[in-house]
Chains A and B, each alone.
With several copies, the nearest count.
Chain A
Amino acid sequence: MSFSFATNLAGSQLPNPVLTASGCAGSGKELSQFFPLTELGAIVTKSIMIKPRSGRATPRMAETPSGMLNSIGLQGPGVDLFLENDIPWLASQGARTIVSIAGETVEDYAVLARRMRNLPGVVGIEVNISCPNVENRGMVFSCQPESARAAVEAVRRNIGGDLPIIAKLSPDVTDIVAIAREVSHAGADGVALINTLLGMVIDTDVMLPKLAQKTGGLSGPAIRPVAIRAIYQVHAALPQLPILGMGGITHGRDAFEFILAGASAISVGTATFGNPTAVMKVKDELEEILIQKGFTGVSEAVGFAHREMK
Chain B
Amino acid sequence: MNPRAKQLQAEVVSNKKVGSYHHMVFSVGDLAQAALPGNFVAIAVGGPASSMVLRRAFAIYRSSEKGINGGLIELVVAPHGQGSRWLTSLRAHDHVDMVAPLGTHFGIPTEPVRALLVGGGYGSAPLFGLAELLKARGCRVDMVLGASTASKIYAPLEGKRSVSSLTLTTDDGSTGISGKITDVLPKIIEENDIEIIYSCGPMAMLSAITQISDRYEILHQCAVEESMACGIGVCMTCVLPVKGDDDQIRMLRSCIDGPVMDGSRVIWDSKRRIPEGTWGA
Contact = CB atoms under 8 A, between A and B. Distances in A.
Interface of A: 23-26, 29-31, 33-34, 46, 51-61, 63, 65-68, 70, 72, 75-76, 78, 212, 220-221, 270-277, 309
Contact of A54 (B53, B271, B272, B281): B281
Interface in B233-272: 233-237, 239-240, 250-251, 256, 270-272
Contacts of A78: 280
Contact of A30 (B54, B97, B234): B234
Nearest to B2: A33
Contact of B251 (A24, A26, A54, A270): A54
Interface in B33-58: 44, 51-55
A27 to B, nearest CB: 9
A85 to B, nearest CB: 15
B109 to A, nearest CB: 29
Contacts of B229: 61, 63, 68, 70, 273
Contacts of A66: 51, 53
A276 B270 CA distance: 29
Nearest to A220: B53
A273 B280 contact: no
B86 interface: no
Contacts of A46: 236
State the main secondary structure of chain B at its contact with A. Answer: loop
A270 B99 contact: no
Contact of B271 (A25, A51, A58, A220): A58
Given A58-B270, A274-B44, 8 more contacts: A57-B273, A58-B226, A58-B239, A58-B240, A68-B54, A68-B229, A221-B53, A273-B55
A273 B235 contact: yes
9 contacts: A23-B236, A55-B274, A56-B274, A58-B271, A59-B227, A60-B236, A70-B229, A221-B53, A274-B54
A277 B44 CA distance: 12
B5 interface: yes
Nearest to A56: B274
Contact of A274 (B5, B53, B233): B53
B151 interface: no
A24 B234 contact: yes
Given A33-B1, A59-B271, A276-B99, A26 B234 contact: yes
Given A58-B240, A66-B51, A276-B99, A25 B272 contact: no
A209 to B, nearest CB: 10
